[in-house]
Amino acid sequence: MKKSTHLQNYSREGTAPFPDKNEEKAPARVIFLDRDGTMNEEVNYLHRPEDLRMIPGTAEAVRMFNEAGYQVIVITNQAGVARGYYTEADVEALHAYMNEVLEESGAHVDAFYYCPHHPEHGIGAYKTVCRCRKPNIGMFEAAERDLPGGIDKSRSFMIGDKLIDTEAGHRFGIRSILVGTGYGAEIRRAQLAAGKADAGKSGPEESEACREYDAYAENLLEAAKIVLA
């Protein structure tokens, strides 16, 4: 992973959000978030700021995590770069704009990590089997290296609308929440029809019924309420 290009860190003051690695720090509690379908509406290969539509409740959820002391880190596959549909600079500009939108509601993402590769449909160096593309955990590992005290996995979560998100969280050793926005509701309905999940439960107690994720929430705001309960 080319950290200098794949990682974009932001803070409300415009300085690096992570403390100096030379300082002694306790492991961070982290909320890892998928981007498309979890925070913003699904748009085919989103890369233009004017096409960004935040899902209602996203800013409030992120603000709740901020105020509770979590590091909020976005983990997103961006195969549109590999396919040549847009550039890494476009991804970075969109992330900067997303944080501007969130800051209007008093919220912020501490860091964005993205994977620009694809194993089959990439152009040039972008066509590769990499460690960073979810459900692999390279982006999580990069965040753990960048945080001075590492990550407290027992108190961290991955939230996304696809099973590759929840699988990635589990591979990294943290709990995962599937949200019903994006593709999540369709996945959930299929599981219920197949008898793979308990329709009467939507909290952490469901883990015995559905091993692919630890909880289900209708949207990111409801997921935040589960985490912070």
Q: Specify the pLDDT at position 46.
A: 96
Q: Confidence band (pLDDT; 50, 70, 90) for 198?
A: low
CATH of residue 63's domain is 3.40.50.1000
Q: What pTM does this model have? A: 0.88
Q: Specify the pLDDT at position 196.
A: 75
Tokens of 52: 């960004």
Positions of E strands within the chain: 7-9, 30-33, 71-77, 111-115, 157-160, 175-179, 215-217
The mean pLDDT of 157-171, rounded to a whole number, is: 98
Q: Assess whether pLDDT exceeds 80 at residue 41.
A: yes
Q: Assess whether pLDDT exceeds 60 at residue 201.
A: no
Per residue in 64-101, pLDDT (tens digit) is 999 999 999 999 999 999 999 999 999 999 999 999 99
| 45-64 as b/e: b if 16+ CB within 10 A | ebbeeeebebbebbbebbbb
Residues 6+ apart with CB under 8 A from 73: 30, 31, 32, 33, 109, 110, 111, 112, 113, 143
Number of domains in the chain: 1
Q: Specify the pLDDT at position 211.
A: 82
Residue 162's domain comprises 3-228
Q: Specify the pLDDT at position 6.
A: 37
Q: Confidence band (pLDDT; 50, 70, 90) for 173?
A: very high
Alpha-carbon torsion angle 213, 227, 28, 135, nearest 10: 20
Q: Confidence band (pLDDT; 50, 70, 90) for 1?
A: very low
| Contact of 108 with 12, CB cutoff 8 Å | yes
The residues carrying an active-site annotation are: 34, 36
